[in-house]
Structure 1
Amino acid sequence: MRTIMKSALPLFALLFSLVVAGPALAIDLDSAKAQGLVGEKLDGYVGIVTSSPSPDLTKMVNDINLRRRDSYRAIADKTAGATLNAVEKLAAEKLIRKTPSGQYVEKSPGQWVKKP
């Protein structure tokens, strides 16, 4: 029994590091913005600024954008005369306005600039 446990220790260590360290390596939106990896787009969504995004970064951006779209759609559905596009544009204006200086925002489609 002890031999089995000793030989299983490296496997347990690997699994533990994947479970515990894996999520710790994931980046959050604020950190990604501060590092210049992503920015706020003119359409109300997050865009990837870096030319070589990690899979974690791409997944995070996709997840955030799906949640934003759901929120924007819910607002449009609850607001008489509002369209999804109008809600997206309004959200973009607010998000870009509150973006701190030095972080990326989209100036025109696909053109990123650091906010002054």
Structure 2
Amino acid sequence: MTGLKRVMSRRLVLGALVGAFVTVALPRMSFALDLATAKANGWVGERRDGYLGLIDGAPAEARALVDTINDERRQAYAGVASSNNVPVNQVEALAGQKLIDRAAPGTFIMDAAGRWIRK
């Protein structure tokens, strides 16, 4: 297998694993304040690095939710990166793009300049 084919194959596997994580693991998380409600209220948004961010004015309960989910995402990204022998920041960036792409209209996402915008 040539170097290019190996890189492309690894990228496809990595993308599939990140996609599986985003699709299966995240919706199963359960909190007093759930993620869908926090996003709908405009308290939480998806960042480009694969993690959640708080929007100004978010209540303390939203901060706890973000901290918990980000810790779980960090562990999952590290596992995917380790399994595929790729840098964790590559996994984070892929996950971030997938999460932003899948964000519901009207929810906050972070743009390339680091500003919160409504999708």
Q: Give yes or no for TM over 0.5.
A: yes
Of residues 84, 89, 94, the one that matches 2:93 is 89
2:116 maps to a residue whose letter is: W
The equivalent residue for 1:40 is 46
Tell me, in whole angstroms, the C-alpha distance in 1 between the residues paired with 2:92 and 2:42: 23
The equivalent residue for 1:60 is 65
SS at match of 1:108: coil
2:38 maps to a residue whose letter is: A
Tell me, in whole angstroms, the C-alpha distance in 2 between the residues paired with 1:110 and 1:27: 25
- With the length of structure 2 as denominator, give the TM-score of the two structures: 0.70
In structure 2, list runs of 5 or more residues that go unmatched: 1-30
Tell me, in whole angstroms, the C-alpha distance in 2 between the residues paired with 1:32 and 1:53: 9
Query: Are 2:111 and 1:107 aligned?
Result: yes
Query: Are 2:75 and 1:70 aligned?
Result: yes
What is the root-mean-square deviation of aligned Cα atoms in Å?
Answer: 1.5
- With the length of structure 1 as denominator, give the TM-score of the two structures: 0.72
Tell me, in whole angstroms, the C-alpha distance in 2 between the residues paired with 1:85 and 1:78: 14
Superposition deviation, residue 55 in structure 1: 1.8
* Aligned pairs, number: 89
- Percent of aligned pairs with the same amino acid: 37
Larger Rg: 1
Superposition deviation, residue 109 in structure 1: 5.0
Runs of 4+ aligned residues of structure 1 deviating over 2 Å after TM superposition are none
In structure 1, list runs of 5 or more residues that go unmatched: 1-24
**2:44/2:58 contact within 8 Å kept:** no
